[in-house]
Chains A and B, each alone.
Chain A
Amino acid sequence: MHDDELSTLLTAERPRPREAFVAELDARVAARFPPRPRPARAGSATRARGWAALLQRPFLPAAATVLAVGLAAIVVTLSAGDRAPRVGGVSAPSAVDGATTGGAIAVPERRATDQAAPDAQREALAPGARDLAPAPELDALKRSAPLAGRFDSARKVERSASVELGTDPERVDDVAQDVLGVVARFDAIVDQSSVQSSTDGGEARFELRVPADRLQPALAALSRLPDAHVLSRTDDTRDVNQAYVSIRRTLANARAERTGVLRALANADTEDETLRLRARLDEIERTIANAERGQRTLDRRVDYSRVSVGIHGGASGGVVPAGDDSFGIGDAAHDALRVLEVAAGVVVIVAAALVPLALLSALSWPLVRGVRRRRREQALDAV
């Protein structure tokens, strides 16, 4: 058989479409492939077309899943990362059970927190915690059951604070008077005070005792004195619950022993025994007196917080610029810059998560295409 003859025969064997199919396809093309209900006969190729689009690109749903999981993990991680230092700073054992909490706080942040209206729940918290965290976050912490115990108001906590104020040299006396006004307003006690004023500067210092439940309003008032500005402010918190419990236990034991000794004394038969019991009773009485004194001291330290107020006039105190408390262009620019910084940080974090995924997708895409192509070729071989 010659090539031409074979070619003619092969061409003659060419399958030809049905006219009905051609007409239908022409109509669909003319209508630019409108959506159509899938006929039952067309199941082989069109029935699973929607799923086929996904199945032929298994990488897309897989990548979407990986992306979603990755983003969720990042969000969870960031949330945990944000919470960890806040919880530690407020209620970690080292902060509450240890020596101190707090430290010098930037003035603008301090001003913002001071101006926030206190509520009942916040009053129950440690002063340092109230000042270091915004109110909503503290509210969230209060709602947290494991943390709530740490803020139990029944615990004995000794609080102290230090406020350093700056003012003009000639206004040291005025500011000192204002401090005394605050003392009177909040039923505080002046333990010690000293005021030195001169033309080129001056200084005053007050050692106050402020009722613990009014400490924060008092500190806020001190921070908002009209002729002064806050140079620094420090809040300290010390958990003295352990010492309190120890004293109570010593007191209870001593009183119980005193009852026993009194009973033994009543039944004493000999003079020696009576003398010995009386000596023991005196010793117990001294122990009880010491314990009660210790408890009263502790109660005073808990009920009244020590506040040290320093007023610095002149160069050391600086001059309060007019309208410092108002929200100006500078503050707005600062806040805007901060917002941009946070936004940029978020972008960097998202990019850090997406770039590896994108690289992974780009690297694996040829592999996916190769696998798909091989499967198709295998389908042809299997015919």
Chain B
Amino acid sequence: MDRAQRRSRDVNATMTATSPTAIDVSWERFEALYRSSRDDVYAYVATLLREPAAAEDVTALAFERAYRRRRSFDRARGNERAWLFGIARNAALDELRRRRRLARLAVDPEDLAAADVLASTDDVADEALRRTALRDALDRLAPRERELVALKFHAGLSNAEIARVLGVSESNAGTLLHRTIAKLRKACDA
């Protein structure tokens, strides 16, 4: 939560710092949006697609589309992060539609290496077990629930932004998120 709020504040600060008399205000806005959202968009798309290579392609495509359409962004229809994640979501769903298959979640070799090292102590072993349980629980979630988790914890969006991306009301987004977290916790504790 803190992370998301911190990022949002940074974005606003960058936006307000942009001079309206700049030669290409829309480019500066986009660049700031890119700097603040690059890793978040990748994390969200990677969780949705579960294939790093495809996630990289879709992330690049999403930013390119956002760049091409940056002048058409309507601030009255939501903030820029929600707009960007909407583009990323469409690109990812188009990719899913095209592939029609689920790639297994690729395991980061660095994580494995880190787990091997950390498994040498009992505390770290417990942590590794909890992470494994969490991954299993994530795998058992429905794709829409997993998307909610990705938007909230991997991309760091607020409930309002999630609602905007998914096209639902903010209260509905909060309810869905609450149910998903409860389901995830129950699966982890089981």
Residues of A in contact with B (beta carbons under 8 Å apart): 1, 3, 5-7, 9-18, 21-22, 25, 28-29, 32-33, 41-42, 44-46, 48-49, 52, 56, 375-383
Contacts and interface: CB of A to CB of B under 8 A. Distances in A.
Interface stretch (B14-22, B77-85, B92-100): B92-100
Nearest to A382: B100
Interface string B57-96: 1111101100110000000000000000000001101111
Interface stretch (B5-13, B37-45, B116-124, B157-165): B37-45
B61 A46 contact: yes
Contacts of A22: 38-39
Contacts of A381: 143-144
11 contacts: A15-B46, A17-B38, A18-B56, A28-B60, A29-B67, A33-B67, A44-B95, A378-B97, A379-B97, A379-B100, A380-B147
Nearest to B54: A44
B93 A1 contact: no
Contacts of A17: 38-39, 42, 46, 55-56, 59
Contact residue range for chain B? 35 or more
A382 B96 CA distance: 9
Nearest to B31: A29
Contacts, number: 125
A44 B51 CA distance: 11
A163 B44 CA distance: 90
Interface of B: 1, 3, 27, 31, 34, 38-39, 42-43, 46-48, 52-61, 63-64, 67-68, 90-91, 93-100, 102, 108, 130-131, 134-135, 138, 143-144, 147, 149, 153-154, 181, 184-185, 188-189
B98 A25 contact: no
Contact of A10 (B54, B61, B91, B153): B153
Contact of B143 (A25, A376, A380): A380
A44 B53 CA distance: 9
A28 B134 CA distance: 35
B56 A52 contact: no
Contacts of A13: 131, 134-135, 138, 153-154
A40 to B, nearest CB: 11
A14 B97 contact: no
A32 to B, nearest CB: 7
A54 to B, nearest CB: 13
Given A44-B57, A377-B93, A16 B147 contact: no
B91 A14 contact: no
A16 B131 CA distance: 16
Contact of A11 (B31, B130, B144, B153): B153
A6 B188 contact: yes
A32 B131 contact: no
Contact of A12 (B58, B68, B98, B131): B131
A64 to B, nearest CB: 21
B60 A25 contact: yes
A16 B108 contact: yes
A193 B144 CA distance: 104
B178 to A, nearest CB: 10
Nearest to A30: B31
Contact of B98 (A3, A11, A18, A44): A44
Given A1-B189, A6-B185, A380-B144, A46 B57 contact: yes
A36 B120 CA distance: 46
B177 to A, nearest CB: 12
Given A14-B154, A15-B47, A382-B100, A3 B94 contact: no
